[in-house]
Amino acid sequence: MTLEVLTSDLLAPFRHGFFTRRGGSSSGIFEGLNCGPGSSDQLSAVMMNRARVAENMEVASEALVSIHQVHSPDVVIVDADTRLDETPRAKADAMVSATPGLALGILTADCQPVLFADAQAGVVGAAHAGWKGALNGILEATVDAMETLGATRANTQAVIGPCISQRAYEVGPEFLDAFMADNPGHARFFAGGEGDRYHFDLPGFGLHRLRNAGVGEAEWTRHCTYSDAERFFSYRRTTHAGEADYGRLISVIRA
């Protein structure tokens, strides 16, 4: 099956894509384009999937760079001297680069994949922003790191890819408390649910943080990972279904 790649005009002219699970060589609960080496999928299938992504990005497989994501506010600057085959991979949740020919790949399965681009400066970025990373400043840190490479906030465009939507993201009162402790204004990203439950607007919160960081434009592709099992992997859907593991989507931008 042909790969399905979602793109945004905001990130032009950089080659980029939010890849769905369609296509790829994985099977079973990982069926399709599972790009997560941390999953229990066959590693050979994952590597074949990543090779297909690299081919789509028109780079060699070793030029598709990824990191060990840990829900942190930490950013890695990637350049020609970066050890692309380094093991273990650097622990961080975003990458930035101004080196042509390198493709930055972020893995998600409900969290926000966010791609950044300043076309005038030739600088790109990619971030993994779950609720914890977004609350702790990973999006702002990515913009800061891009500035060190010559980007400017006003010229930086940011796009949030497929992630869990508010209607599917039920949380408990302790979750709300963590956001209220940071800023009482965050209450607007929560809607009431049944009993003591709430529904959190993750992409809405991400857009808020991006716009407050001063980026020129920011948008969400408006795709919900939880609600579309044929196109997207979802950690929460897998948990609700009682499945043993889940695949990881990849989102990529090439410098």
Would 175 be classed as within a structural domain?
no
Per-residue pLDDT, 81: 77
Would 177 be classed as within a structural domain?
no
Q: Which of 183, 170, 95 is nearest to 135 (CA)?
A: 183
The Cα–Cα gap between 233 and 32 comes to: 10
| Tens digits of residue pLDDT in 54-89 | 999 999 999 999 999 999 999 999 998 776 555 567
| Whether pLDDT at 95 is above 90 | yes
Would 184 be classed as within a structural domain?
no
CB 169 within 8 A of CB 206: no
Residue with tokens 């273990």: 88
Would 242 be classed as within a structural domain?
yes
Would 48 be classed as within a structural domain?
yes
| Tens digits of residue pLDDT in 222-255 | 999 999 999 999 999 999 999 999 999 999 999 9
In the chain, the percentage of residues whose pLDDT exceeds 90 is 94
**Counted domains in the chain:** 1
Phi-psi region of 199 (alpha: psi -120 to 50; beta: other; left: phi over 0): beta
| Tens digits of residue pLDDT in 190-227 | 999 899 999 999 999 999 999 999 999 999 999 999 99
> Which domain, by its residues, includes 240?
5-165+201-254
The Cα–Cα gap between 129 and 137 comes to: 9
Would 182 be classed as within a structural domain?
no
CB 88 within 8 A of CB 109: no
Per-residue pLDDT, 117: 98
B/e letters for 205-225, b = 16+ CB within 10 Å, e = fewer, are bbbbbbeebebeebebbebbb
Would 186 be classed as within a structural domain?
no
Any idea what the CATH number is for the domain that residue 217 is in? Answer: 3.60.140.10
